[in-house]
A and B are shown apart, each in its own frame.
Chain A
Amino acid sequence: MTLEEAIRQIESSEFSAYVNVASGFRVFIRALTISEPVTQLRGLSRDPKVINQLLARVHYISRLSTDPRFENPWDTSLAAYLLTLASANLNAARTAAATVASLPRCWWAARLAESVLAGITNAVGSDTTRHEPIKAKPVPMWDIASPRNEPTFLYLSTSQLPAVLSGHLAVDSKAANHLHRIQLGLLPGGRIRETPPAWGDSDGSTSVVIDARGSA
């Protein structure tokens, strides 16, 4: 199967229907992994040129307009590309995941992107709906709290990042050398909330913005 053929199949409505029958993330990843076009794509992705082509495809798709009334129609295709990249080149996967995580109305692709960004590279067979207990040491909220209740900037290693985000995410130790800039909004009396604030851009290439509230 050529790259073009694999992409054509992965972006077909038939592929979407087959893998969308999954009831949960673990089943979805399994369905994706064993599907013929993704298996073929994984083989093709040993070629660095294919990695670049997949990255370009993800970026191209991310710029397409979609109907705001419905789920992103590229959801399963993006998930397939992310899974392939995650098994072939982690840096490329993280770049693609950063793009995918910013797209609206994604379902499976958003979960997979979060797994990749959190350093959970062995997403196959895992489930992120209910996070497992941490391997990384959690960062106590008071260590990163600002006394002025204002947004502040911190530099944390990847190994700390997921712990900050949820308090209980596993992390891949191989990715621990990357640094991330994190913008934290510290408001009184709360904890991390789900919606990132509009506090302006951070300039890190793989930055993650969360809205954290100062702990008691």
Chain B
Amino acid sequence: MTYIIVDRGGPRDKQSIQLATRLGNWIRNEQRHERSPASLRAAEEIWRKALPSAELRSSTATYNCVGMVFACRRTWVAPEELELILGDDGHRRVVDRNAVKAGDVVVYKDSDNKPLHIAVVLEARADVRMASTELTVLSKWGADGEYLHRELDVPPDYGTTTEYWTERKEIP
């Protein structure tokens, strides 16, 4: 007997939880099973060696980067949902990297401009010597760990093309 899940991640999928944008549009999501402790430990070991500057905050597979940022770590949300979320939630692009502030988000994209990953900016520190800004971010690496890391200290799958978004409001 072969089963195919219909409407994966949608409102009728029992693996999904109620999750919507500010405008009320459903955000497709699925709650993923936890990986075994041995598997999580192996992931931790691999990334500790590959990217030693990244600091592990938490090890779990039950949510991903988008789930961390927009679903309070409750579920897994595919990066393809980001366009909907950012638009519906009133985020705007920050073109000047030096204007990025803590709380803004970094979206990592591929060469086709499709989102691969997202991180939350924890600290934006001006580097006077380099006339630039150094960003420290927090992000969830797929089904591996949640890490504090420098903006571009990420697994190679996430690429190096980034853009910045904010939902900051100013008093009119």
Residues of A within 8 A of B (CB): 13-14, 16-18, 20-28, 30-31, 67, 69-73, 97-98, 101-102, 105, 107, 110-111, 114, 117-118, 127-130, 165-166, 191-196, 201-202, 206-210
The answer to whether residues A194 and B14 also contact, given A22-B142, A24-B80, A101-B4 and a CB cut-off of 8 A, is: yes
Q: Which of A17, A31, A102, A130 contacts B2 (CB 8 A)?
A: A102
Residues of B within 8 Å of A, CB-based: how many?
A: 44
In Å, the complex CA distance between A155 and B64 comes to 40
Chain A residue nearest to B118 in the complex (CB)? A23
Q: Which of A67, A107, A129, A194 contacts B28 (CB 8 A)?
A: A129
B170 at the interface (CB under 8 A from A): no
B142 touches A70 (CB 8 A): no
Interface centre among B5, B117, B144 (most CB of A within 10 A): B5
Please give the distance in Å from B74's CB to the nearest CB on chain A: 16
Which 8 pairs show the lowest CB-CB distances between chains A and B? A13-B42, A17-B43, A71-B33, A129-B78, A21-B142, A20-B143, A70-B36, A24-B78
In Å, the complex CA distance between A31 and B157 comes to 7
In Å, the complex CA distance between A102 and B36 comes to 21
B155 at the interface (CB under 8 A from A): yes
A193-B12, A201-B1 known, 15 other contacts, Cβ within 8 Å: A13-B42, A16-B42, A20-B35, A22-B143, A27-B157, A69-B34, A70-B35, A71-B143, A72-B33, A73-B39, A117-B2, A192-B6, A196-B3, A202-B1, A207-B1
What per-residue 1/0 map shows which CB atoms of B2-30 lie under 8 Å from chain A?
A: 11111111001110000000000000100
Cβ < 8 Å to A, chain B residues 133-163: 140-144, 155, 157-158
Chain A residue nearest to B14 in the complex (CB)? A194
The answer to whether residues A165 and B2 also contact, given A70-B34, A70-B35, A127-B80 and a CB cut-off of 8 A, is: no
Interface centre among B4, B28, B118 (most CB of A within 10 A): B4
Chain B residue nearest to A94 in the complex (CB)? B2
Chain A residue nearest to B9 in the complex (CB)? A129
Q: Which of B3, B6, B12, B43 contacts A20 (CB 8 A)?
A: B43
Q: Which of A21, A30, A128, A209 contacts B141 (CB 8 A)?
A: A21
